[in-house]
Amino acid sequence: MDNTMSRIEQLIGEIEEYIDSCKFSPLSNTKIQVNKEELEELLVELRLRIPDEIKKYQKIISNQEAIIAEAKTQADTILAQATEQTNELVNEHEIMQQAYARANEIVEDAQMQAQAIIDSAVEDANSIRQGSINYTDDMLKSLQTIIAHSMEDAQGRFGEFLSSMQSAYEIVNTNRNELAAGVTGPEGQEGAAQ
């Protein structure tokens, strides 16, 4: 996973910094005065960035198929080599009995190696998938908390602004639900954080 900060994380940081920089309303230690246009600009860009960010992590998740395919290719190569060695041994008449015994050992070893490679690849793929889902869900959860906090502060005073925030909140909630639905795989694993 990319260690550089994504644009959506930068936007969340900018929203947090903007909220921290706002002045408190007169006679209040909790409510703040916000510039509607500045905050709406940040929210508009955030709304545009969320689908791109989710697509990026979906692409990471899809890489598990490539990992498993590569593992199966390696397993097939090992089995093909084992079969070739078996044929060479069997064709030598003077050591026929030993060849059969050795051939069985080679095939068993090859099958064990192939299964180990596949098992490891599946485990790595599942780990990548789970890590991507958890990372995306944590990011969306942080965003959801910020939006919910902003909605509480603005309630009753900015009708149009509140409507825009509600729309963003619903988009995030829908994305989290879609992530949660995608977590249940063939093995019945549970996924996204609550």
pLDDT in tens, 100-147: 788 888 999 999 998 999 999 999 888 898 988 988 888 888 878 887
Q: Which residues pair with 32 in a beta bridge?
A: 24
DSSP three-state, residue 3 = coil
> What separation in angstroms does the CA of 144 have from each of 52, 149, 160, 170, 194?
17, 9, 19, 9, 12
Q: For position 153, what pLDDT does the model report?
A: 66
User: What is the per-residue pLDDT across 59-91, written as a single tens digit (0 to 9) for each?
Assistant: 777 777 788 888 889 889 998 888 888 777 766
**Residue 103: Cβ within 10 Å count:** 18
Is 184 in contact with 190 (CB distance < 8 Å)? yes
Q: Note the pTM of the prediction, 2 decimals.
A: 0.38
- Angle between the N-to-C axes of helices 36-91 and 7-21, in degrees from 0 to 180, rounded to the nearest 10: 150
Is 72 in contact with 118 (CB distance < 8 Å)? yes
Rounded to an integer, what distance in angstroms lies between the CA atom of residue 147 and that of residue 126?
A: 31
Give, as one character, the DSSP assignment of residue 94.
Answer: G
Residue 158 or residue 4, greater confidence: 158
